[in-house]
Every structure is written in structure tokens, then in C-alpha cells.
Amino acid sequence: MTRMMTLTLVAALALPGAAQAFRADNFLEVNPIPGGDFEVVSRPGSGAQDFWCAAGDYARSQLGVAANRRIYIAEGRSPSLTRPGYTAVQFTLTPPEEALDRTSRPITLDIEDVGDSLRAASASQYCYDRFEERLFP
């Protein structure tokens, strides 16, 4: 029985997608996508702050970006590129064309508008907003 469990574990770890996935502080899955961008895969009940938390956590801890570096939405909630059957939000560190003129728009916490951005430290801060919910569900 122990040998079968060991073989199953080894097989699961050998899957191509398993090695690339990153679990953010809020347990959302973050996966790199071609071109250097990344996507945060949705879970039931995930809201804008959850996506920004995961994006900030990934950018800071995995990509090593500075706290004041901006993270931009490259694609709002849409079908995931890395997890078929799921939805995701794609993020980039390169400002998309839509990000050039944001002065006339109100500031909102959103995950739909391409070009919306937060600094990496601000995005990561959303991980702490719901910390107690994770400890005491």
C-alpha cells in the first residue's frame, strides 16, 4: 500500500502543469503564460481583491519585482489558458496600450479593464485584508 501511494505521488509531481503552478498566500493558483505574463486562476467566490493579492504575491515572491513596480491587467476574467474549464485574469508587468490614458477614469478595484494597475506592494496588501478569514473560516 505504501509503495502504491509513493508511486502515485511521484506520478502526480511529474505532471507538466504541477511543477509550474504557484500557490499564492490566498491559495489561488498562479501560472506563467507565454511572453512573460502570468494568470491567476479563479476559485468559486474569488473577487477582485483575491486576484490582486495573488498577482502581487507572485510578482514579489516569484518574479522578484520591486514594491513600487506596477502590475497591469492584460486580460480581464476570461477562460484560463493554463487550466481548461476554469476562468482566470491575466497580468503583465509591461504597460498595455490601454494603460497610457488612465487620468480621466475613477479609481476602482476591478479586474475587467485592460490596463488597470496597482503597485506590487499595494496588490500584495490585499492578501492581509482577508487573513483572518483563512485562519478562522
pLDDT 10s digits, 110-123: 898 888 999 999 99
Q: Is residue 135 part of a domain?
A: no
Q: Output DSSP code: residue 111.
A: S
User: For residue 13, is it within any domain?
Assistant: no
Tell me if 85 is assigned to some domain: yes
- Do residues 30 and 58 touch, judged by C-beta distance below 8 A? yes
Whether residue 84 lies inside any domain: the answer is yes
> Per the structure, how many domains does the chain have?
1
Residue 40 lies in a domain: yes
Q: Is residue 15 part of a domain?
A: no
pLDDT in the model for residue 105: 62
- What range does the domain containing 67 cover? 21-130
**Three-state secondary structure string covering 19-30:** HHCEECCCCCEE
More reliable by pLDDT, 66 or 2: 66
- pLDDT (0 to 100) of residue 92: 96
The b-or-e profile of 8-25 (16+ CB within 10 A means b, else e) is eeeeeeeeeeeeeebebb
Query: pLDDT tens digits for 40-64?
Result: 999 999 999 999 999 999 999 999 9
